[in-house]
């Protein structure tokens, strides 16, 4: 990662997770040779304990992302990020394939997550990669309710009635701050960028796990996390859709994310950025070459982590078109 090591960009090994609600889109999307069924999640860059990403290339192949942060510190994540987060990598990247509805859930903000779990909170964003006909997401409230009404509606099974429902299509973006109640409906396939993996399940359709046990609910814990005033008509994030230049979609204290819809070469200057950069390929394939002439290829479903010491990268589409999400802190 240092200058003498030529700023090696990091590709992460695939980490697939079978879930009760998982589908069959992730494996072909990522061009994997696997017979796994019901894959609901593919984890990319992760420093989550017991789920740390593993480096798949270069001189540090086999190390976890947590090992990399401890070893390279500011050179990997940036000076301000290392001062802010220490040895904890501040983002988690996933692909989610919901063949069935996910649980209705909410995520805590930093202060509550720190108090209860000694962790960062979970603000996240979704980029819709694919969506079946009629697929929907529920995000936020369609009308304001009180904590008392929340308890009553969870008990009598009508809580979903006060959540905002949005029909989705590929390219839709949703920014989901901590405290917003969410629900990924069946047929949604999304890329997620998030702080952590802390989730409070509010309702799970009385489903049983593989051992025949009901999954744990966090109905009471969720009350302190929910933003009951979070009411809007449409929770989608609007952005300009243009080609061959970065388009910023989300700018927040937790991450900034842009989309690159490319049919031609682009060079990115990171000389003034004090952060790592993650590229997430959501369509097509490309080749990345950094300022020390290190070259790496990526295709749909893969992520590449550029260390904060990277000054410049040139991206060349392989084929007619590539779409990338670029995110940093």
The pLDDT of 203-210, averaged and rounded, is 82
- The 8-class DSSP code of residue 233 comes to S
Nearest-angstrom CA–CA distance, 45 and 93: 5
Which residues lie below 8 Å from residue 238, measured CB to CB, with a gap of 6+?
none
Q: Which of 122, 137, 132 is nearest to 173 (CA)?
A: 137
Find out whether 91 and 303 touch, Cβ atoms under 8 Å. Answer: no
**Catalytic option among 73, 116, 201, 321:** 201
pLDDT at 261: 98
| pLDDT score of 97 more than 80 | yes
Q: Where are the strands (E) in 271-311, listed by range?
A: 277-283, 285-290, 295-299, 303-306
Per-position DSSP letters for 115-154, written without gaps between them: HHHSS----EEEEEEEE-TT-EEEEEESS---HHHHHHHH
Work out the pLDDT band at 7, boundaries 50, 70, 90.
low
Average pLDDT over residues 280-307: 95
Q: What is the pLDDT of residue 313?
A: 97
- Sequence-separated (6 or more) residues with CB below 8 Å from residue 4: none
Burial of 100 (0-12, 13-18, 19+ CB in 10 A): middle
* Backbone conformation region of residue 134, classed left if phi is above 0, alpha if psi is from -120 to 50, else beta: left
What does the pLDDT look like over 41-94, one tens digit per residue? 999 999 999 899 999 998 999 999 999 999 999 999 999 999 999 999 999 999
Q: Over pLDDT 70: what percentage of the chain?
A: 98
Whole-number pLDDT of residue 271: 96
Overall average pLDDT of the 114-134 stretch: 96
Question: Residue 207: what are its φ and ψ, rounded to 5°?
Answer: -75, 155
Mean predicted confidence (pLDDT) in 185-191:
91
201 catalytic? Reply is: yes
As a dihedral over the C-alpha atoms of residue 264, residue 265, residue 271, residue 273, rounded to 10 degrees, the angle is: 40
Cβ contact 207:215 at 8 Å: yes
Position 327 confidence tier, pLDDT thresholds 50, 70, 90 = very high
pLDDT at 196: 95
Taking all residues of the chain, what is their mean pLDDT, rounded to a whole number? 93
Q: What is the pTM of this model?
A: 0.94
pLDDT of 295 above 90:
yes
CA 159 to chain centre: 26
């Amino acid at each position: 990662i240092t200058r003498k090591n030529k700023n090696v960009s990091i590709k992460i090994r695939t980490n697939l997770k079978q879930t009760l609600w998982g589908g069959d889109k992730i494996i072909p999307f990522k061009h994997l040779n696997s017979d796994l069924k019901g894959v609901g999640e593919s984890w990319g860059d992760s420093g989550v304990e017991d789920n740390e990403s593993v480096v798949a290339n270069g001189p540090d192949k086999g190390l976890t992302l947590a090992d990399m942060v401890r070893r390279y510190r500011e050179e990997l994540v940036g000076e301000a990020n290392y001062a802010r987060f220490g040895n904890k990598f501040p983002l988690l990247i996933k692909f989610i394939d919901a063949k069935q509805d996910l649980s209705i859930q909410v995520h805590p903000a930093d202060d509550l997550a720190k108090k209860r779990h000694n962790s960062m909170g979970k603000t996240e964003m979704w980029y819709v990669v694919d969506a079946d006909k009629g697929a929907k997401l529920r995000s936020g409230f369609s009308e304001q309710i009180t904590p008392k009404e929340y308890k009553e509606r969870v008990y009598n099974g009508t809580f979903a009635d006060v959540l905002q429902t949005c029909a989705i299509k590929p390219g839709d973006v949703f920014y989901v701050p901590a405290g917003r109640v969410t629900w990924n409906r069946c047929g949604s396939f999304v890329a997620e960028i998030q702080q952590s993996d802390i989730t409070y399940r509010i309702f799970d359709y009385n489903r049983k796990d593989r051992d025949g046990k009901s999954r744990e609910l966090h109905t009471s814990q969720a009350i302190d996390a929910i933003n009951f005033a979070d009411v809007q008509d449409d929770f989608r994030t609007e952005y300009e859709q243009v080609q061959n230049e970065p388009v910023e979609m989300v700018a927040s204290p937790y991450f900034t994310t842009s989309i690159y819809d490319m049919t031609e070469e682009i060079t990115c200057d990171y000389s003034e950025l004090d952060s790592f950069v993650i590229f997430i390929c959501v369509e097509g394939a490309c080749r990345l070459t950094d300022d020390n002439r290190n070259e790496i290829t990526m295709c749909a479903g893969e992520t590449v982590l550029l260390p904060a010491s990277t000054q410049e990268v040139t991206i060349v589409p392989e084929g007619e078109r590539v779409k990338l999400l670029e995110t940093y802190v």
